[in-house]
A and B are shown apart, each in its own frame.
Chain A
Amino acid sequence: GAVVSQHPSWVICKSGTSVKIECRSLDFQATTMFWYRQFPKQSLMLMATSNEGSKATYEQGVEKDKFLINHASLTLSTLTVTSAHPEDSSFYICSARVVAGQETQYFGPGTRLLVL
């Protein structure tokens, strides 16, 4: 099946620094990638939808200047948490859709961010 990787899997950073998370589709080209955030004991929350070569579409309440998304190629999307604060600590998950019009998404293993 289609494989999606994320890097890093774990990151600890100081408050005020920026952190970049990479999401790669390893064996397919992804026209669309999604970024989710998962709070403890809660469901996934969609943050933004990222289409290759265009600006990401952010969900209501998600600060686009704080969570910068770049979908530079059909196999790579990055999420940068700028000026991170402790409340940004969470589990960030990306997913990729193989082809336009196909509903199934393949998920990365997630990145756990801890901001001190």
Chain B
Amino acid sequence: GNSVTQMEGPVTLSEEAFLTINCTYTATGYPSLFWYVQYPGEGLQLLLKATKADDKGSNKGFEATYRKETTSFHLEKGSVQVSDSAVYFCALSDSNYQLIWGAGTKLIIKP
């Protein structure tokens, strides 16, 4: 069946560091891929998405590229800020448009 695996957290970085949160998936067909973010005390928000191979999603300085050959959708940001501290979820949308979730990765940015 479809599944999403993302790196375990917490990930702790200093401000202005480079961020990578790994996400790999298994799926039949051609799913769409998403990154959602949950800031402390808030609900989930869509961060970015990609709907086909080689697409790059980007938002708020974050990027992720849909890599079909490696079945990956790693989240990257060149210079993180304290305000980026949150839990990040990788997800895929299957043929029924249901979201299959990764376990989430907590990101802690220290000033």
Contact = CB atoms under 8 A, between A and B. Distances in A.
Size class of the A contact interface (CB-based, 8 Å): 20 to 34
Where chain A touches its partner, the secondary structure class is strand
B103 A103 contact: no
Contacts of B45: 107
A101 B43 CA distance: 23
Contacts of B102: 43
A67 B9 CA distance: 31
B73 interface: no
A54 interface: no
A57 to B, nearest CB: 10
B17 interface: no
B43 A46 contact: no
B89 A43 contact: yes
Nearest to A108: B43
A97 B79 CA distance: 32
Interface in A67-116: 93, 95, 97, 101-110
